Structure 1
Amino acid sequence: MNPITVVSFEELQAKVSIKNENLFPAFSILEPELTYTLPKRQLANGLSDSFVHVMENYLTYPVGAKLQDRWSEGILHTFIEIGQEVLADEEIDYNTRANFMWTVTNGFNGFTASGVPGDWSSHALGYEITALNGTDHARTLSVILPATMKVRKKEKWDKLLQYAERVWGADSGDEEARIDFGIRKTEEFFRSLEMPTRFSEIGIEETDIDYMVEQLEVHKRDRLSERADQTLDISRKIYEMAL
């Protein structure tokens, strides 16, 4: 699916990623029926994790990559469309799971990253949460992404506005109001999947923030985002916004 893996070291309270083209599978077989055994929590994790993967490449700044933007928006629209169907308690539907597996794969496999800048700060901040208390990776992302959107609104203005218009239909009125609407809808989407959007839901307290910021520095995550302009102070503000 992609050439990236992540390793957690519990004794060091560290989580690090490894990227090497030799890790890229020569081919992969997608069998939707294998998702039938997954609990609802892991299905929601898959939807949310891939959603944020797409957003990491999409929510940066315009570079004129029209097809990449439309690819990303199509994937996001599909997640929104099928989210409740995937988590439905009634009889499992093969076509729904096939769409789920194919959409998640396209969120992860690097297509949306071709020719565009990537942020990945939500992942970096999320790693420190998992390293601290073992929270599922996807559940850290559903908390951190909305907080990042709020704190970094000015820097990501153009793409936030495009996201609100094209993904959530906010195509008229004050620009900031439309952006705020898109952020609210993102949080609502995560909550519809029973995913957390605040630290209080994943056992993180205000007193943990100093330690997590220190760990960001230890792990050389002190200049994040697509422009390498997200300092430790900004990361702290994002953590605080998530309270």
Structure 2
Amino acid sequence: MLNFDLHNPTRIVFGAKTVSRLDELVPAGARVLILYGGESARRNGTLAEVRAGLGQREVHEFGGIEPNPSYETLMEAVALIQRKGLNFLLAVGGGSVIDGTKFVAAAVDYPGDPWEIMESHGATVHRALPFGTVLTLPATGSEMNKGSVVSKKATKAKLVFASEHVFPRFSILDPTKTYSLPLPQVANGVVDAFTHVMEQYLTYPVDGRVQDRFAEGLLQTLVEIGAEVMAKPDNYDARANLMWTATLALNGLIVAGVPEDWSTHMIGHELTALHGIDHARTLAAVLPANLQVRREAKRAKLLQYAERIWNITEGSEDERIGIAITSTRVFFESLGVPTRLREYGLNAGHIDEVIAQLEAHGMTALGEHEDVTLAVSRQILEAAL
């Protein structure tokens, strides 16, 4: 097992009817900005419930944060905060809203060009406004980590930053808030959480037995509940398990002491930035192809994955690995998520532009061994077609 330093200060408040606890979680004198995405949060009553929970505090709203939050939109929120003198943020939504709120929190008092936050991957962040979250879409785990992904429309850049200063102070996780989600968003959440676990689990063995079993438990849970969360939107237990699994998939627990990959995500980010494909759907296309192209480097963990997640114990090693990769693809497709880039209108002619963006953003040595060169990324994209 590798050395590690694990710290997570986010308080989780989990369960039905917990939004009312905002009054005890937000400082009494806070001047609050609620950040959210579309109008669904207003239509389904969540915004009204949040406002009621905040009591008599000064409250302002900022809506319109995109599914892939843009720098341009987020800077409008920064300007509003500066103009009104607000001092506490509350993200109401899924990972995109929370990611955007993290950037806003870091950008409000940033001394230079705020885009430097993204270009430095968070190294230049030394303070941020405090914020909490009310999670409505389980997927990214952003409600309990220090990471954020933001896009810049002007340059079609989609970059990642992380900072100890942008852990949420608290996150309210009420599974009933997911009942009204469109099913494609629920499916995306399952795929996103599954791939988060895979990026930390399916690398190479370091005898991290506890981490492996944690990760395998999360993967098994997602496989077990995948059909349930799609077929029965008001199944509280299934939605509760999805919500908690997605949080645990990226809160630092399963990556402690083990190597991590993230090449699937980096390639997927470029596809989203260039072509507007949902983040999770880029992952569904890239992950199986990535495993196929790099099956030799990942052989030991692929065999473990085949046995422990898919119960594949017969056949040669190559056969078992092949079935495990196919099983992954079939699972995503059973949720209604296509796993081929051609199903999103892409062909071989689109690959050069993706490779050029990877190079422009310094993504030339990805993966747990830093051996996913631009040539290997090209092979992965070709296999994903």
Aligned counterpart for 2:239 among listed residues 86, 97, 107: 97
TM-score, normalising length from structure 2?
A: 0.62
SS in structure 2 at match of 1:162: helix
Which amino acid is 2:160 matched to? Answer: S
Instruction: Measure the CA separation in 2 of the matches of 1:60 and 1:235.
Output: 17
Tell me whether 78-87 or 169-178 shows the greater mean CA deviation.
169-178
In 1, are the aligned partners of 2:176 and 2:234 still within 8 Å (CA)?
no
Aligned to 1:77: 220
Query: Could you tell me how far 1:27 is from its partner in structure 2?
Result: 2.6
Instruction: Measure the CA separation in 2 of the matches of 1:72 and 1:47.
Output: 14
More helix by share: 1
Bigger CA radius of gyration: 2
Aligned to 2:295: 153
Which amino acid is 1:152 matched to? Answer: R
TM-score, normalising length from structure 1?
A: 0.97
Tell me whether 101-110 or 146-155 shows the greater mean CA deviation.
101-110
**Is 1:140–2:285 an aligned residue pair?**
no
Query: Could you tell me how far 1:207 is from its partner in structure 2?
Result: 0.5
CA distance change for structure 1 residues 210 and 170 in 2, over 3 Å: closer, same or farther?
same
Which amino acid is 1:147 matched to? Answer: A
Q: Which has the higher contact order (CA 8 A, sep 6+)?
A: 1
Instruction: Measure the CA separation in 2 of the matches of 1:122 and 1:233.
Output: 15
Aligned to 2:195: 52
Q: Percent identity?
A: 51
Task: Give per-residue Cα distances to partners, 1:181-218, cap 9 Å, x unaligned.
Answer: 10000000000011111011122221010111011000
RMSD between superposed Cα atoms in Å = 0.9
In 1, are the aligned partners of 2:303 and 2:321 still within 8 Å (CA)?
yes
Aligned counterpart for 1:129 among listed residues 262, 271, 277: 271
Instruction: Measure the CA separation in 2 of the matches of 1:202 and 1:24.
Output: 34
Aligned counterpart for 2:364 among listed residues 222, 232, 240: 222
In 1, are the aligned partners of 2:233 and 2:239 still within 8 Å (CA)?
no
Aligned to 2:326: 184
Q: Where in structure 1 do 4 or more consecutive aligned residues deviate above 6 Å?
A: none
Instruction: Measure the CA separation in 2 of the matches of 1:50 and 1:97.
Output: 13
Which amino acid is 1:193 matched to? Answer: L
Aligned counterpart for 1:32 among listed residues 162, 171, 175: 175
> How many residues of Structure 1 are paired with residues of Structure 2 in the alignment?
242
Tell me whether 220-229 or 102-111 shows the greater mean CA deviation.
102-111
More strand by share: 2
SS in structure 2 at match of 1:108: coil
SS in structure 1 at match of 2:154: helix
**Is 1:165–2:307 an aligned residue pair?**
yes
Aligned to 2:159: 16
Instruction: Measure the CA separation in 2 of the matches of 1:108 and 1:40.
Output: 22
